[in-house]
Amino acid sequence: MLDNASPLPYSLKFSAMFSPDLLASLRDLCARHQRFLVISHLRPDGDAYGSTLGLALSLRAAGKDVTVVNADGMGAQFEFLPGSQTLTATAAVPPEADRLIIAVDCADPKRLGSVFESWKRLPDVNIDHHISNPGYAALNIIDPNSPATAQVLYEILTALQWPLTAEVAANLYVGIMTDTGCFRYRQTTARTLEIAARLVEAGANPTDLAESCYQSFRAERLRLMREVLNALHFANRDRIAWFSLTPEMYARSGATADETEGLIEYLQAVRTVEVAFLLEIMADGMTRASLRSRGTVDVQKICATFGGGGHRLAAGLRTRLEPAVLEKKLVDLIAEQLPA
Query: Which positions touch a second copy (CB under 8 A)?
Result: 177, 181-194, 196-198, 200-201, 206-207, 210-211, 214-219, 221-222, 225-226, 229-230, 232, 234, 238, 241, 266-273, 294
Q: Around Cβ 301, how many Cβ atoms within 10 Å? A: 12
DSSP 8-state secondary structure symbol assigned to residue 153: H
Provide the minimum distance between the beta carbon of 268 and a second copy in the complex, in angstroms, as a whole number. 6
Any idea what the Cα angle at residue 283 is, between residues 279 and 284, rounded to 5°?
100
Provide the minimum distance between the beta carbon of 269 and a second copy in the complex, in angstroms, as a whole number. 5
Identity of the residue, 229 or 257, whose beta carbon is nearer to a second copy in the bound complex: 229
Provide the minimum distance between the beta carbon of 316 and a second copy in the complex, in angstroms, as a whole number. 20
**Strand (E) or helix (H) holding 319:** strand 314-319
**b (16+ CB within 10 A) / e for 33-49:** eebbbbbbbbebbbbbb
Q: Around Cβ 309, how many Cβ atoms within 10 Å? A: 14
* CB-based contact 338:297 (threshold 8 Å): yes
Identity of the residue, 6 or 230, whose beta carbon is nearer to a second copy in the bound complex: 230
Among the listed residues 47, 37, 61, 66, the one whose alpha carbon sits nearest the alpha carbon of residue 171? 47
**Strand-pair partners of 244:** 279
Provide the minimum distance between the beta carbon of 289 and a second copy in the complex, in angstroms, as a whole number. 20
Identity of the residue, 125 or 152, whose beta carbon is nearer to a second copy in the bound complex: 152
Identity of the residue, 120 or 184, whose beta carbon is nearer to a second copy in the bound complex: 184
Identity of the residue, 25 or 187, whose beta carbon is nearer to a second copy in the bound complex: 187
- What is the C-alpha separation between 327 and 340, in angstroms, rounded? 21
- What is the C-alpha separation between 207 and 177, in angstroms, rounded? 11
Identity of the residue, 9 or 181, whose beta carbon is nearer to a second copy in the bound complex: 181
Sheet bearing 125-128, strands edge to edge: 87-89, 65-70, 35-39, 100-104, 125-128, 139-142
Provide the minimum distance between the beta carbon of 125 and a second copy in the complex, in angstroms, as a whole number. 29
* CB-based contact 293:275 (threshold 8 Å): yes
Provide the minimum distance between the beta carbon of 117 and a second copy in the complex, in angstroms, as a whole number. 36
Torsions phi, psi for 231 (to 5 deg): -125, 30
Identity of the residue, 136 or 234, whose beta carbon is nearer to a second copy in the bound complex: 234
Provide the minimum distance between the beta carbon of 211 and a second copy in the complex, in angstroms, as a whole number. 8
Identity of the residue, 54 or 123, whose beta carbon is nearer to a second copy in the bound complex: 54
Provide the minimum distance between the beta carbon of 252 and a second copy in the complex, in angstroms, as a whole number. 13
Any idea what the Cα angle at residue 123 is, between residues 122 and 127, rounded to 5°?
140
